[in-house]
Amino acid sequence: MSEIGRDNPQFYLTAPTACPYLPGKYERKVFTHLVGEKAAALNDILTQGGFRRSQNIAYRPACEACKACISVRVRVDEFRPSRSFRRIYRRNSDLIGEEVLPQPSADQYALFRDYLDSRHAEGGMAEMTVLDYAMMVEDTHVETRVIEYRRRSIDSALTGRGRGPLVAVALTDILCDGLSMVYSFFDPEAADRSLGTFMILDHIERARRLGLPYVYLGYWVSGSSKMGYKIRFQPQEHLTGTGWTRVDESET
């Protein structure tokens, strides 16, 4: 731990733990707290530097002899949906995402629980209680929103709201230069909708409407089936040792 000054964040290093993406590897993270009046500005800077947010913590990998985790962001203005992406748009044209304040609800937790039990029963979040979920959503000092996706209704064009049960949820930070998708989950019984992909496509459009140049997708790990989907959203930039660099799909 080093302290550069009273008003500067303090950074800490975790002990090695098993890597959730690459078998036989161990991960370490460097992290700091996002609290107080400067939390939002610090979150902007750290996200641009490859950090991710979890509640009031910003972290990034700091693994010895491994650089597999690469920060990825989509270039919004240049993004053009492929034919398969357009099919997913059409498949979910009956859904609408309503942006609400970061406040947990019983509906959200029920969907979150179904998602974890179906998709990540052995993962690190599998034992999260309703209180843990509430902390994930509302324990923040930065500008963030929950986007709830439901079926469109006859008055959705006027209200911006859907009706019926939740089918998907995204927890999203609003940054000075983009949207950062902190965490998302969806109805595991609606696999034919490709809801994870749809939410990313919807965020790209949201960023476009807001005049924001990027959508931050977190880490892409070459060789990891859990992270492979992120490379499909082109054009995108990867954070390298010399800064953010445009990468073509053929180069990955």
The single-letter code of the amino acid at 84 is S
> What Rg value do the Cα atoms of the chain yield, rounded?
18
Annotate the chain with three-state secondary structure. CECCCCCCCCEEECCCEECCCCCCCEECEEEEECCCCCHHHHHHHHHHCCCEEECCEEEEECCCCCCCEEEEEEECCCCCCCHHHHHHHHHCCCEEEEEECCCCCHHHHHHHHHHHHHHCCCCCCCCCCHHHHHHHHHCCCCCEEEEEEEEECCCHHHHCCEEEEEEEEEEEEECCCEEEEEEEEECCCCHHHCHHHHHHHHHHHHHHHHCCCEEEEEEEECCCCCCHHHHHCCCEEEEECCEEEEECHHHC
**Do 40 and 143 contact (CB within 8 A), yes or no?**
yes
Q: Give pTM, 2 decimals.
A: 0.91
CATH 3.40.630.30 placement within the chain: 81-217
Q: Beta-carbon neighbour count of residue 124 at 10 Å?
A: 10
- The segments of the chain whose pLDDT lies below 70 read 1-7, 121-124, 249-252
**What pLDDT sits at residue 251?**
54
16 preceded by a cis bond (ω within 30 of 0): no
**What pLDDT sits at residue 157?**
76
**What pLDDT sits at residue 1?**
37
Q: At what angle do helices 83-91 and 195-210 cross, to 10 degrees?
A: 100
CATH 3.40.630.30 fits 81-217, yes or no: yes
**What pLDDT sits at residue 123?**
65
Q: What are the angstrom distances between the C-alpha of 197 and each of 86, 148, 185? A: 11, 15, 11
Taking only the tens place, the pLDDT of each residue in 174-210 is 999 999 999 999 999 999 999 999 999 999 999 999 9
**Chain mean position to CA 59:** 13
**What pLDDT sits at residue 249?**
66
Rounded Cα distance, 236 and 252, in Å = 11
**What pLDDT sits at residue 182?**
96
**What pLDDT sits at residue 2?**
39
Rounded Cα distance, 174 and 206, in Å = 11
